[in-house]
Amino acid sequence: MEQSSLLLFQTTRRKMKKSVYIIGSKGIPAKYGGFETFVEKLTEYQKDSNIQYYVACMRENSAKSGLIADTFEYNGAICYNIDVPNIGPARAIAYDIAAVKQAIEIAKKNKDEAPIFYILACRIGPFIARLKKKIQAIGGSLFVNPDGHEWLRAKWSLPVRKYWKFSEQLMVKHADLLICDSKNIERYIQVDYKKYQPKTTYIAYGTDTSPSILKSEDPKVRSWYQEKGLSENGYYLVVGRFVPENNYEAMLRGFIKSNSKKDFVLITNVEQNKFYDQLLEDTGFDKDSRVKFVGTVYDQELLKYIREHAFAYFHGHEVGGTNPSLLEALASTKLNLLLDVGFNREVGEDGAIYWKKDELARVIEEVEGFNEDAISELDEKSNQRIAEAFTWEKIVASYETVFNL
């Protein structure tokens, strides 16, 4: 559908619909990433037909799905492609600004009543005051998801970290509502930015709770395990970005120190990664045959099977809010060993075992002494925790309530 006719279709279709413009993801269909999956699920699980979603998309992301028109429809959402020049690290900032400007223009053409502009992450703080004036001028509201503590991530240089913190401050200042996916993040926003009296609400991230459709005898399953030299229930697992704040060093040191006869499987991309080289030098993990970096697994059903058949899952994240990989682990792995920080305890509650950075070896030996009943009890508690608080049905229902307030 051409852009003009699609927007006309939109105008006639929803005279009094609530327009919600979502900015800050790379777009849908989701190819990777937490925010992309969130937007995919928000539109896929939509129940309230009174809401019309508009989703900003990077044209190159859309092109991966063959969607090259300026606008297209997906999961009932109107998606609009943005061309972004390749200008290095500032590219994401340019993308968000262009996406907000385009959203405002669409809202004007549609004569939207009280549209919501929902920005994911705090990249464009220094530019938000001017954009907020334009949003207010058409009767709109600015909602922001502050994400996690981006300014604490080790991958950023000091000047970039300072930019993130300053940008966050300005986004908080100008937001009409901040939607936090972690109670710890919500508390931080309320305390650190008390002078702005920020209006906040908590809506978690969600996860898929359906089991893998694959069976043990499936060729792709047997092929993967054979190729990696692994067997079901014979390994600890970690899945995630290979960055320092996810505490790979503490996990590797703790595991190497342990007497475990099981393997430690790391599903992560370490190609051309300086942190990997540094860690190799610091820990000598290549001398321990139990440690196995197995690359990435893009087949989601296979990944789910691998999670389900791990002996236990390690989670070392300590920066950010509700982590998608943690939710997936709690939903699918029987035994979960989480770094003992507030973010992780908030999510796992009594359905997981917690470890301090210098205690992992002891915890590994302790859990290997658990009987089946103890592991089953933890499995049941973690499944229950996910079912009660983190299903996509529940998360989407919460968002629809907030968007209709």
Residue 178 in domain: yes
- Residue 159 is predicted with a pLDDT of 75
Query: Is the domain of 165 the same as that of 227?
Result: no
Strand-pairing partners, residue 354, are 338
What's CA 9's distance to the chain center, in Å? Answer: 32
Query: Is the domain of 226 the same as that of 202?
Result: no
Q: Is the dihedral of CA 155, 158, 163, 165 positive or negative?
A: positive
Mean pLDDT, rounded, of the chain: 92
Q: What is the pLDDT of residues 363-390, one digit of tens each?
A: 999 999 999 999 999 999 999 999 999 9
Q: Over the range 337-352, which residues count as b (16 or more CB within 10 Å of their CB) and which as e?
A: bbbbbebbebbbeebb
Query: Is the domain of 374 the same as that of 399?
Result: no
pLDDT score of 2 more than 90 = no
Query: Is the domain of 315 the same as that of 300?
Result: yes
Q: What is the pLDDT of residues 245-258, one digit of tens each?
A: 889 999 999 999 99
Q: Which one has a higher pLDDT value, 271 or 9?
A: 271
Q: What is the pLDDT of residues 201-245, one digit of tens each?
A: 999 999 999 999 999 999 999 999 999 999 999 999 999 888 888
Choice among 151-160, 198-207, 307-316, 334-343 with the minimum mean pLDDT = 151-160
DSSP single-letter state for residue 207 = B
**Among candidates 365, 364, 316, 367, which has minimal Cα distance to 341?**
316
Q: Using CA atoms, how far apart are residues 109 and 7, in angstroms rounded to an integer?
A: 8
Q: Using CA atoms, how far apart are residues 330 and 326, in angstroms rounded to an integer?
A: 6
| pLDDT confidence bin for 157, thresholds 50/70/90 | confident
Cis peptide before 324 (omega within 30 of 0): no
**Among candidates 345, 353, 344, 308, which has minimal Cα distance to 328?**
308
Domain count of the fold of the chain: 2
Residue 250 in domain: yes
pTM: 0.87
CATH number, domain at 292? Answer: 3.40.50.2000
Q: Using CA atoms, how far apart are residues 190 and 192, in angstroms rounded to an integer?
A: 6
Q: What is the pLDDT of residues 164-179, one digit of tens each?
A: 889 999 999 999 999 9
- Residue 341 and residue 316 in contact, taking contact as beta carbons nearer than 8 Å: no
Residue type, 335: L
Which domain range does residue 321 map to? 219-389
Query: Is the domain of 140 the same as that of 183?
Result: yes
Query: Is the domain of 238 the same as that of 320?
Result: yes
